[in-house]
Amino acid sequence: MSKLSTRFTAAISNLKSRDERKRRRAIRELFEMDDPQHLKAFIPLLNDKDSWYRSKAIDAFRIWAPRESVTSLEPLIAHKNIDYNRVAANLLEKFSPTGTDVIKELFEKDDMICKAKAAQFILRNDNEKEFYCSLLEGENTKLKIIALESKYSSNDTLTNCLSDDSLKIVEYCLTALSDVELQIDDDTVEQLTKRGVKFGLLMPHLIRSNPEKLAESVQELQNHEIKTLVDLLNRECDNVEDEPINTLIQCKQYVVVGRWLQGKRGDAFDTLRWEIIADDSIDEIERSRFIERLFARCDEEKIRLEAEKIANNSTSELIKLTAHNLSTAKDRDEQ
């Protein structure tokens, strides 16, 4: 018999001892040997009167069960203690999807943590379309979303669920479909916003399918929503001729256009900037911001010359002053 086998036999024997010191030493010995097959020795400790031994049993499952098959969790799943059931549920993410029978027992527990974690594991497995459909047809919003997140879901299913009674499900579907071109008309936008859907979730779809409605709604957006919109525009639009940008210009939404222009260089971008800056019908504060964003480019002669033209021709004192400062910024830097 090997030394390791003798050590294990001695530890198992001491684990049944009435001597508390021997029992605790046996626990330490088993952990030091670090063998997943020793997990069975800890199963009786799940019912020990002493909480210390119960906690060590749980530690053993957390350490060794993920190195075995998912069936190693069965003692925790079958136990009447809901805390043990939840330990098993929280360990499932560490297992590869190989078999679901014992996990379906966990799903049947009257506990949402167990149901949710079990459902996620089951849906990682193949041949579970029936289980997936049962979640979609159920009344539990959280479990429906878990089903929609799974590999069994599709864009068609997500689109169909946009009419679901649950606002959370509708918002999840809009988020999941953010890279898909959905046709959302004015009536749908109105219906969804009346239900309380966050407008920010509609923006990716409106940029592609209904930029007019998007432009009309800019005035109602909060600062964080405008930032989100600009980020989306940066991702979707490369030039000033793109329909969403052109629509925003036509609707005079210069706050959004100005932020979208930040950092962009090229004749088309600059032409648009100077057209907006030169238009005295546009709010002077907004136009002054366009000029201020160009100070980083004051070393470009073309920028200085255009600023000088604006300073000489604008009817706004604010624009004259800001443009003059831009046209002379390089001279001041060199002094």
**DSSP string covering 159-225:** HHGGG-S-HHHHHHHHHHTTTS-----HHHHHHHHHHT--HHHHHHHHHHH-HHHHHHHGGG--HHH
Q: How confident is the model over 147-171, as pLDDT tens digits?
A: 999 999 999 999 999 989 999 999 9
What pLDDT score was predicted for residue 318?
96
Residue 335 pLDDT more than 80? Answer: no
What pLDDT score was predicted for residue 81?
97
Q: How confident is the model over 269-316, as pLDDT tens digits?
A: 999 999 999 998 899 999 999 999 999 999 999 999 999 999 999 999
Q: What is the mean pLDDT of the chain?
A: 91
Residue 11 pLDDT more than 80? Answer: no
In this prediction, residues 317-332 reach a mean pLDDT of 88
Q: CA distances (Å), 98 to each of 134, 143, 146, 221, in order?
A: 21, 21, 19, 48
What pLDDT score was predicted for residue 324?
94
Residue with more model confidence, 205 or 19? 205
Residue 1 pLDDT more than 50? Answer: no
What pLDDT score was predicted for residue 186?
81
Q: CA distances (Å), 209 to each of 11, 70, 101, 166, 222, in order?
A: 70, 46, 45, 24, 22
What pLDDT score was predicted for residue 291?
95
Give how far the C-alpha of residue 54 lies from the chain's centroid of Cα atoms, to the nearest Å.
37
What pLDDT score was predicted for residue 334?
57
What pLDDT score was predicted for residue 3?
52
Q: How confident is the model over 52-75, as pLDDT tens digits?
A: 999 999 999 999 999 999 999 999
Q: How confident is the model over 89-139, as pLDDT tens digits?
A: 999 999 999 888 999 999 999 999 999 999 999 999 999 999 999 999 999
**Domains within the chain, CATH numbers bracketed:** 1-68 (1.25.10), 69-149 (no CATH)
